[in-house]
Structure 1
Amino acid sequence: MTFSFNGLDHYQMTAPLGKEKEVHHFFTDVLGCPEVEKPDSLSHFESIWFDMGRHIIHVGLDENHHSEKRGHPAFDVKNLQGLMDRLDGHNIPYEEDFNMPGARRFYTYAFFGHRMEFLEWHDKPESLMTESEKAERKHL
């Protein structure tokens, strides 16, 4: 029996234990992501979950938190300029990067020092597409 990947289900990042208020502020107030209620069977874990469109992000609260500077999530965004304007309104620093062909993107380290990438594809090169994206493009 063969298998195939459907895509990413969720991604987990960490935040310092005791910083729940700041986590909620960043994801709900700044990014506009609704909180997802965890199943009762997982409620004992110190974490908060958020809906980020096609995926869920888990923020684990950890007393031994350390930020990721290289490993990072990259979020596919519709209206990247709107997100940048929102970050500007909250005085959240970010750095645009012009090295990805076919995309506009930026990075921020504003969430407890983690690198987070946000990008919007305008003309994604076929060499960077998944097989399912290539198949979908063929059917358009």
Structure 2
Amino acid sequence: MPFKFNGFDHFQLTAPLGTEKETRYFFTEVLGCPEVEKPDSLSHFDSLWFDMGKHIMHIGLDEDHHAEKRGHPAFDIENIQELMDRLDEHGIAYEEDSNMPGARRFYTYSFFGHRMEFLEWNDQPETLKEGKRKLI
């Protein structure tokens, strides 16, 4: 039986070692994502985990942290305006982008320089829908 992809299980970004407080603040207070307890067998790793809905975000605390400027996670969310309002309340800059047909989206670089994309689909193109993607 051939293997198949079911989607992402989790993904990871890094933060500078020693920034646990700032990392927790960004994910729990600003984005409203609860922290997830790691399994005991992984508790020795310098990392924090956050519930992002369908997936878990791992934040590895790394003394050799380098921010991703181009590579980035993109979050499919509901009520994007509410998130934008929350970022405004916390003084976090973002940039709206209208290049994706059928979506309202924006980028922020606020989390230790990483690019993070947030989008809300209003009319997703058929060629991007699961099961109907046009493969090349």
Q: TM-score range, shorter-chain basis?
A: over 0.9
Residues 12-68 of structure 1: CA deviation (Å, up to 9, x unaligned):
000000000000000000000000000000111100000000000000000000000
Alignment of 1:90-105 (within 5 A): 90-105=90-105
Instruction: Give 1:68's aligned residue.
Output: 68
CA RMSD, Structure 1 to Structure 2 (Å)? 1.1
Name the SS of the counterpart of 2:109 in structure 1. Answer: strand
Mapped to 1, the partners of 2:79 and 2:9 lie a distance apart of 23
Instruction: Give 2:124's aligned residue.
Output: 124
The structure whose residues are more often helix, as a share, is 1
Mapped to 1, the partners of 2:97 and 2:36 lie a distance apart of 31
Instruction: Give 1:26's aligned residue.
Output: 26
How far apart are residue 91 of structure 1 and its match?
0.6
| Structure 1: runs of 5 or more not aligned | 135-140
Mapped to 2, the partners of 1:78 and 1:7 lie a distance apart of 20
Count of residue pairs the alignment pairs up: 133
Instruction: Give 1:137's aligned residue.
Output: none
Q: TM-score, normalised by structure 1?
A: 0.93
Residues 75-103 of structure 1: CA deviation (Å, up to 9, x unaligned):
00110000000100101100000000010
How far apart are residue 105 of structure 1 and its match?
0.2
Mapped to 1, the partners of 2:45 and 2:74 lie a distance apart of 25
Residues 94-137 of structure 1: CA deviation (Å, up to 9, x unaligned):
00000000100000000000000000001100112232xx4xxx
Name the SS of the counterpart of 2:127 in structure 1. Answer: helix
Instruction: Give 2:6's aligned residue.
Output: 6
Instruction: Give 1:107's aligned residue.
Output: 107
Kindly provide the amino acid, as one letter, of the partner of residue 52 in structure 1.
Answer: M
Q: Give the fraction of aligned pairs with identical amino acids, expressed as a percent.
A: 76
Instruction: Give 1:40's aligned residue.
Output: 40
Name the SS of the counterpart of 1:50 in structure 2. Answer: strand
Mapped to 2, the partners of 1:79 and 1:11 lie a distance apart of 23
How far apart are residue 3 of structure 1 and its match?
2.1
| Structure 2: runs of 5 or more not aligned | none
